[in-house]
Amino acid sequence: MAKPLTLPDILKKKQRGEKLVMLTAYDYSFARWLDEAGIDLILVGDSLGMVVQGHATTHRVTMEQMIYHVEAVVRGVRRAFVVADMPFLSYQVSEEEAIRNAGRLIQAGAKAVKLEGGQEILPLVRRLVDLGIPVMGHLGLMPQRVQAVGGYRTQAVDATSREQLLRDARALEEAGIFSLVLEKVHPEAARAVTGSLQIPTIGIGSGPHCDGQVLVLHDMLGLYPDFRPPFVRVYLDGGRLVREAVEAYIRDVRQGTYPPSSDA
């Protein structure tokens, strides 16, 4: 069995020019399949509020729910590096509360936490890193702030916003993050950020120039029926396959062909 991935392993992949691969997972079964397939990082994302709970945004996900899903995921993982999202209002109220909540996610089994934000979260990032809690950053489109920016729009499309993105990324790296998610960022802006950092960038809807890529598992498997981002490549028509399997089961039960007779 391959040894567990560590923070130095993640940084070395950028140095060697190897792409990092990350997917979300929210339960034991999917986490185990992803781990056995060789995924580098698993994100227990607050996207579970949408794809698991059926909400329109991530805002209603609680710390207790995140801890529940982190614990389920880590039970299925032997090698992958598990990162947990800090949900909305779990780190914005006070530094003391943020530290406590980050610690709870680490106690649940996550190897790192992910925070959305730039300059405004630098003191918290430094404090968490000083306490030994690895932090992944998140810039560009930030789902926890989607209502404030007017929807799921591409970010860093003009010179001013690109310069701000670059300043935020460099400041976060200096504060101690070990990697940075760039969500729905203009590809040229993502290229500039990736080239300016020593830590790896992980893109989602930000073009091919990042050091790695992440997708929501239910999107790439075709399992989420309500929304499909245009940048997602669907690798399996999972929704259709599930529906057909259930229809076959219904048909067999109603026709009496399942379960088989005891002497079959």
Q: For residue range 103-131, what is the model confidence (pLDDT) as tens digits?
A: 999 999 999 999 999 999 999 999 999 99
> 203: part of which helix (H) or strand (E)?
strand 201-204
| Shared-domain flag, residues 242 and 229 | no
Q: For residues 75 and 40, state if they share a domain.
A: yes
C-alpha closest to that of 56 among 226, 208, 233, 248: 226
Q: What is the pLDDT of residue 29?
A: 98
The answer to whether position 186 is within a domain reads yes
* Domain shared by 180 and 250, yes or no: no
Within this chain, do residues 47 and 156 fall inside the same structural domain, yes or no?
yes
Number of domains in the chain: 2
Average pLDDT estimate for 156-174:
97
In a domain, 76, yes or no: yes
In a shared domain, residues 91 and 121: yes
Domain, as residue range, for 257: 238-264
* pLDDT > 70 in the chain, percent: 97
Residue 2 lies in a domain: no
Is residue 86 within 8 A of residue 101, CB to CB? The reply is yes
Q: Is 247 a catalytic residue?
A: no
Residues 103 and 202 in one domain: yes
Is residue 93 domain-resident?
yes
Which of 227, 219, 231 lies closest to 183 in space, CA to CA? 231
For the chain, give the number of residues. 264
Tell whether the model's pLDDT for residue 227 goes beyond 90.
Answer: no
The pLDDT of residue 2 is: 79
Tell me the chain's radius of gyration from C-alpha atoms: 20
1 lies in some domain: no
DSSP string for 114-129: E---SGGGHHHHHHHH
d(CA 182, CA 155): 10
In this structure, the answer to whether residues 120 and 168 fall within a common structural domain is: yes
What CATH number is given to the structural domain containing 204?
Answer: 3.20.20.60
Please tell me whether residues 99 and 17 are part of one structural domain: yes
Residue 149: per-residue pLDDT:
64
Catalytic residue among 18, 116, 183, 244: 183
Q: Is the pTM of this model over 0.85?
A: yes
- What whole-number distance in Å separates Cα of residue 215 and Cα of residue 230? 12
Q: Which residue type sits at 37?
A: A
254 lies in some domain: yes
130 with 204, same domain: the answer is yes
Q: Are 186 and 154 in contact (CB under 8 A)?
A: yes
Q: Tell me, what's the pLDDT at 147?
A: 63
Same domain, 11 and 141: yes
* pLDDT tier for residue 83 given thresholds of 50, 70 and 90: very high
Q: Are residues 165 and 198 in the same domain?
A: yes
**Is residue 61, in this structure, part of any structural domain at all?**
yes
Q: Is 28 helix (H, G, I), strand (E, B) or coil?
A: helix
Q: What is the pLDDT of residue 103?
A: 98
Q: Are residues 42 and 112 in the same domain?
A: yes
